[in-house]
A and B are shown apart, each in its own frame.
Chain A
Amino acid sequence: MSFSRRNLLQGVAGLVVAFALHEQAQGSPARLAADSVDGYLAIAPDGSVTVYAGKVDLGTGARAALRQIVAEELDIAPDAIGLVEGDTGLTPDQGSTGGSTGITVGAAQIRLAAATARAALLDLAAQRFGVPVPQLSISGPAIRTQGNRSIGFGELIGGQTFGLPVDKSAPVKNPANYAIVGKSLPRPDLPAKLTGRHIYVQDHRVAGMVHARVIRPPSIGARLLDVDAASIAAVPNARIVRLKDFIAVVAPREWDAVRAMRALNVHWSDTATLDGSGALYDTIRHTPVLREEVLRVTQDPAPLASDGLRLLQAAYHWPIQSHASMGPSCAVADIRDDGGTVWTASQNTHRSRQTFARLLGLDPARLRLVYMDGSGSYGSNGNDDAAFEAALLSREIGAPVRVQWMRADEHGWDPKGPPQLLDMRGAIDANGDIAMWETTAMLPANTSRTGPPLLGAIAAGLDTGEGMSSGLTSLNADPPYDLPHMRATISWLKATPLRTSNLRAPGKVGNVFAVESFFDELAAAAAADPLEYRLRRLSDPRGREVLNRTAERMSWVPHTKSPDHSAAMLRGRGIAYAHYKQSETYVGMGMEVEIERASGKIRVTRVVCAHDCGMMINPDAVRAQVEGSILQTISRTLFEEVTFDHAGVTSTDWGTYPILTFPDVPRLDIVLIDRRLERPWGVGEAATAPVAAALGNAVFDATGVRLRQAPFTSARVKAALVTAS
């Protein structure tokens, strides 16, 4: 393999001579260390700055935001900064891109590296000019003295390494003086993306590459009994690659690979063992519990439960959902005997490199995973699976292979967002106050440390590890209010029907649905206004502010009962609140809905959201993430449910797994609260959390019917309305 930053830097600088005097050996640990300045930053002989980020931009605008952060600390222009993302051969391991850590963790490390570099550059210039650092200033990629002498970054250190650890106490710029951070700079990738010039991983081609399609079994875990090779004889140059139960077809022309996939006659064993999605919540109730965990407790609520209080209880249900990425997963791999390269839209290139190397028997140092943009992913979709399948196939046939999943692969086989079942209990005292609260959340346990087992590895009989993983699913199962007698318990389940992974705001969407809907149930039982009832128990001023700003924008009129539940078109409004992970971004969410009584069809007409994530690096990118969070979660709440029978997933296209479409898109009214001096929190997930509850609360306001199971399909709503009347 021949890759190095030297080549890259020379490419940037347009040089052919090796300038990099102190350049370390290719792929050397110092160049990739997550604690060294050189891990994150390089300055080329021409003074241009390149940033190396382990975390990637998934269409989130991080590509703009990261440049702004570095530009701010180095006092250079953001658009002059080169950026390399998620390339295991070039970027440090900053962990996966997920859990809203891109800015809070990823960018924070890079900011410190830039600040350390700035101090080092000033020291070097001070020595060069023989003047003290305070008499120097930076403008453009150059350092100036008061006497107007200047030296460029390139001349100071271009092509060389800093050789410095990232200094955790490096002097960073005071946010009050920010000139670049906080501005809505445009995303640099959009002009190419919107004119068809951007190369997505789906568009990546390498010389000598063949196209592959993987054949999925008719039931999960089926054994491959027999293949009829003659069945694809009519497809030119198509061939079969088989490793135990892993079977694929490859062909030089992509369409021929598709034809071969369709024509291939394979006999499989029958392993239909699932209970089916119709029985999902029964299945959950009967699944053994691996362990109980008390998420948070104030005073033990149990003794109060029989104390002459008004006791309420309810169960809330969140279905299995798919990432349902718009483009099916895709990857290209070129693996030879001693190593190779995989091009992938994985959110986890560093972790997957370790896993793939182990499974393929390669030295991880000789395997490189290169991130390329793919279709939006919201956690681990099928990208890692497709990448491993490409690597496996490339190793088998000794040529570069492109694996492109079909629509049914993505919907049917992506690792799913797990189902959630929450039992809620609460009690109201004589004053209408909440006397006690109990949450018991049943969630699949996280028993795998390396992410979801890889499909291709399972089929090929490789040891991909047992176990499940779906992210930090327990958070926000406790109410975000001051409740003296409160306990939230997680029953971590031993098993779950389908393979899972982290899906946007893992667990939090379903947890907040249960908590904030049930809080509304208590408010209704206490004949209290839902907003006032929340504020009564909320002391955090930033939490109060998002709720108040939401209510203000909705022109909230306190009421406890909607006037009329009998009209043909029912209208209502609801409110919900989330403090993401109980420690990060604050979100107030208000919804206005219409429900057609005859059909049960819900239309969200308007959404108001007040959002406080602390400092905003790029407010327009924040706004886009909040919009996406709201719309995607309205979609999940109204329409989305993975269905499966005894054999496997039956919702395998956009007809059987519908999502939100343009006619159902509501007006969005988003209030971004600007807190320039507070630390920045993530924005890709928080606003998803209160969406379902706000929607359900609005439906209750309109109809008097409480929806406790998502999705709120028309059929389900109609049935609930009929039962209620």
Chain B
Amino acid sequence: MSRLTLRVNGEDRVIDLGDPDTPLLYVLRDDLQLHGPKFGCGLGQCGACMVIVNGAAVRSCVVPAAAMAGKEITTLEGLGSPERPHPVQAAFIAEAAAQCGYCTNGMIMASTALLQRNPHPQEQEVRDELAANLCRCGSHVRVLAAVMRAAREG
């Protein structure tokens, strides 16, 4: 068992890492009880597990936690709270841009990273950015509306 220090949502967190290959997702969900990132496929295909690492949206199911030492990791709960949502979260709430909400973590993390890079994207750019973020419930049109709203109001 080795010790690993990760910087998550602005705090240093010390973890007893079991297997050195443990994906970041399992550390976040099981060791740090952060439930924003979701297990969807474990294959890098769906985006449900996304977190922001040093400003970029990353699929936490396919990156080893050990490789994340020294990086700035933000999860959905680190963006904002129900009382003080991040502007992107506020836009998703305003557009009711979720049905079950299971995929929505990835939608919010991917579009937050996009808007940091490109604060005023065209809708087509948002579509392309989210092309590998899957939603089964069909919340897509609301997700697009929410991202465009965040870009307007952010």
Which of A's residues lie within 8 Å of B, judged by CB?
58-60, 186-187, 189-200, 202-203, 205, 236, 253-256, 258-259, 324-328, 373-376, 378, 404, 406-407, 620, 624, 627-632, 635, 653-655, 659-663, 665, 668
B139 at the interface (CB under 8 A from A): yes
- Interface assignment of B149: CB less than 8 Å from any CB of chain A: no
A190 touches B100 (CB 8 A): no
- In addition to A202-B39, A327-B38, 18 A-B residue pairs with Cβ atoms within 8 Å of each other are A191-B93, A196-B35, A197-B81, A199-B35, A203-B35, A253-B30, A256-B19, A258-B26, A327-B40, A327-B102, A375-B38, A407-B40, A620-B96, A627-B139, A654-B45, A661-B131, A662-B131, A663-B128
Q: Check A196/B96 contact, CB under 8 A, given A655-B45, A661-B131.
A: no
B103 within 8 A of A: yes
A668–B141 touching, CB < 8 Å = yes
- The reply to whether A630 and B138 form a contact with Cβ atoms under 8 Å apart is yes
Q: Are A191 and B82 in contact (CB under 8 A)?
A: yes
B58 at the interface (CB under 8 A from A): no
B18, B33, B89 — which one has the most chain A CB atoms within 10 A of its CB?
B18
Cα distance A713–B86 in the bound complex, in angstroms: 40
Main DSSP-derived SS at the A contact region: loop
Asked if A654 meets B134 with Cβ closer than 8 Å, knowing A59-B100, A196-B105, the reply is yes
Task: Determine if A60 and B99 form an interchain contact, defined as CB atoms under 8 angstroms apart.
Answer: yes
Q: Which residues of A contact B132 (CB under 8 A)?
A: 661
Residues of A contacting B22 in the complex (Cβ-Cβ under 8 angstroms)? 255
Tell yes or no: B60 within 8 A of A by CB.
Answer: no
Contact, CB under 8 Å: B100 / A191 = no
Does B76 interact with chain A (Cβ within 8 Å)?
yes
Shortest Cβ gap from A362 to chain B (Å): 30
Asked if residues A407 and B41 are in contact (CB atoms below 8 Å), the reply is: yes
Q: Indicate whether B67 reaches chain A with its CB closer than 8 angstroms.
A: no
Taking a contact as CB atoms under 8 Å apart, the answer to whether B81 and A375 are in contact is no
Interface positions, chain B 97-131, Cβ under 8 Å from A, are 97-105, 108, 126-128, 130-131
**16 contacting pairs across A/B (C-beta < 8 A):** A59-B137, A194-B101, A202-B38, A236-B18, A255-B22, A255-B26, A326-B134, A373-B100, A374-B100, A376-B137, A628-B99, A628-B139, A629-B138, A660-B140, A662-B128, A665-B127
A631 touches B140 (CB 8 A): yes
Q: Could you tell me which residues of chain B, from 15 to 62, have a CB within 8 Å of some CB in chain A?
A: 18-19, 22-23, 26, 29-30, 33-43, 45-46, 48
Task: Give Cα A193 to B108, complex, Å.
Answer: 11
Tell me whether A59 and B103 are in contact in the complex, defined as CB-CB below 8 angstroms, given that A196-B34, A255-B22, A665-B141 are known contacts.
no
- B149 to nearest A CB, angstroms? 13
Contact: A190 with B43, CB < 8 Å? Answer: no
Contacts of A255 in B (CB 8 A): 18-19, 22-23, 26, 30
Question: Known interface pairs A194-B89, A196-B105, A259-B19. Does A628 touch B45 (Cβ–Cβ under 8 Å)?
Answer: no
Smallest beta-carbon distance B150→chain A, Å:
12
